[in-house]
């Protein structure tokens, strides 16, 4: 039995079959799941996926929405460019493809936010097309099974992996949904980054890493780089039972979301308030914390400021009480600050 057949047989008996997107061959639902699963765990994705589809059950409904309506359903999931691209992509499909998903992986890959592997996954699951995928989990399976050394993020190594992936499809007589899901399941459940369970692996008998005891060295680790450190300060401007929230421009960190007003940490909160035309009654320094993004770590110093009167309404600014804030798209660390303030009212007596 060849590599692909062993993966298919294993997936049918031992793979995952209860994920909410597996019951559909609708490319919209498959696409949504694939985008949400990028850099995000399945257990985190499932409630977001369900909630998103409740609000936007079809591609047409997503395309017709305003981006501001979309972002609250992504808030907390991270990597917010995915949501912006998702919305742009839906609009482009309506405009250029008559509202129907493109018919093959090559065309799908031309859409915003969809790379080669994601396009192939959509085509394999939705249409049964014999096109290989190569996400992070699958790279790990292939580097170990075929003994491919070198950083899999390097072009020459990645090209070799793509060629091997294509070769496993042979003449194309493969159950592509089962094979594609099987590779994903294998990487997620058995061929894990640490402590792989080789004794249960369907391709262990031909796996170079298993036969040579090289599981720990494959895939070749990327050289460790120091994570850049950045700092910022936030104003928690409070008036009665409301906080001032500010809409962040896209692209950029938390682009398209609502956040707390930001200022240079070298400045004083009093100066930051005065620059906005606000006069503080009282100022309190809160506990600083850090939030790690993909490429850097952000150190955040929040300041709670009580105002005698609210700033006037303006584009990109909104005073929000607890119920209003709950409906707005806030980044996860900002959500914790805002919800914590509304829940305790601890700063109301400053």
Known catalytic residue: 34?
Answer: yes
Our separate counts of H helices and E strands in the chain read 15, 8
Q: Of these residues, 34, 229, 262, 274, which one is catalytic?
A: 34
3-state secondary structure 73-118: HCCCCCCCHHHHHHHHHHHHHHHHHCCCCCCCHHHHCCCCCCCHHH
Distance, in Å, from the CA atom of 219 to the CA atom of 139, rounded to the nearest integer, reads 8
Distance, in Å, from the CA atom of 350 to the CA atom of 339, rounded to the nearest integer, reads 18
Distance, in Å, from the CA atom of 273 to the CA atom of 203, rounded to the nearest integer, reads 63
Q: Could you tell me the two tokens for 205?
A: 């008998």
Q: Could you tell me the two tokens for 107?
A: 């065309």
Which bin fits 293, alpha (ψ -120 to 50), beta or left (φ > 0)? Answer: beta
User: Would strands 297-307 and 317-320 be described as parallel, antiparallel, or unpaired?
Assistant: unpaired
Distance, in Å, from the CA atom of 320 to the CA atom of 115, rounded to the nearest integer, reads 38
Query: CB atoms < 10 A from the CB of 163, how many?
Result: 10
Query: Could you give phi then psi for residue 2, rounded to 5 degrees?
Result: -75, 175
Active-site residue set? 34
């Amino acid at each position: 039995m060849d590599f692909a057949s062993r993966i298919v047989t294993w997936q049918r008996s031992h793979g995952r079959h209860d994920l909410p997107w597996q019951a559909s061959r609708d490319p919209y639902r498959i696409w949504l799941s694939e985008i949400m699963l990028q850099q995000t765990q399945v257990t985190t994705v499932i409630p977001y996926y369900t909630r998103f589809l409740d609000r936007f059950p079809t591609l047409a409904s997503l395309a017709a929405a305003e981006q501001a309506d979309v972002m609250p359903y992504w808030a907390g999931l991270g990597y917010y460019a995915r949501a912006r691209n998702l919305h742009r992509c839906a609009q482009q499909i309506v405009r250029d493809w008559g509202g129907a998903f493109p018919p093959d992986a090559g065309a799908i890959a031309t859409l915003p936010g969809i790379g080669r592997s994601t396009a192939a996954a959509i085509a394999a699951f939705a249409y049964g097309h014999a096109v290989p995928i190569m996400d992070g989990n699958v790279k790990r399976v292939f580097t170990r099974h075929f003994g491919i050394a070198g950083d899999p993020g390097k072009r020459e190594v990645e090209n070799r992996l793509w060629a091997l992936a294509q070769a496993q499809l042979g003449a194309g007589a493969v159950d592509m949904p089962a094979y594609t899901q099987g590779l994903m399941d294998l990487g997620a459940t058995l061929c894990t980054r640490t402590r792989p369970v080789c004794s249960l692996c369907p391709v262990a008998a031909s796996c170079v890493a298993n036969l040579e005891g090289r599981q720990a060295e494959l895939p070749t680790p990327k050289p460790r780089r120091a994570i850049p450190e950045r700092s910022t300060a936030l104003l928690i401007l409070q008036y009665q039972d409301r906080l001032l929230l500010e809409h962040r421009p896209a692209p950029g960190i938390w682009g398209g979301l609502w956040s707390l007003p930001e200022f240079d940490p070298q400045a004083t909160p009093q100066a930051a308030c005065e620059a906005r035309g606000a006069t503080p009654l009282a100022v309190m320094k809160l506990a600083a914390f850090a939030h790690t993004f993909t490429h850097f770590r952000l150190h955040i110093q929040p300041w709670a400021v009580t105002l005698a009167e609210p700033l006037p309404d303006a584009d990109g600014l909104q005073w929000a009480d607890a119920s209003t804030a709950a409906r707005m798209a806030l980044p996860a660390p900002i959500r914790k600050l805002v919800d914590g303030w509304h829940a305790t009212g601890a700063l109301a007596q400053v």
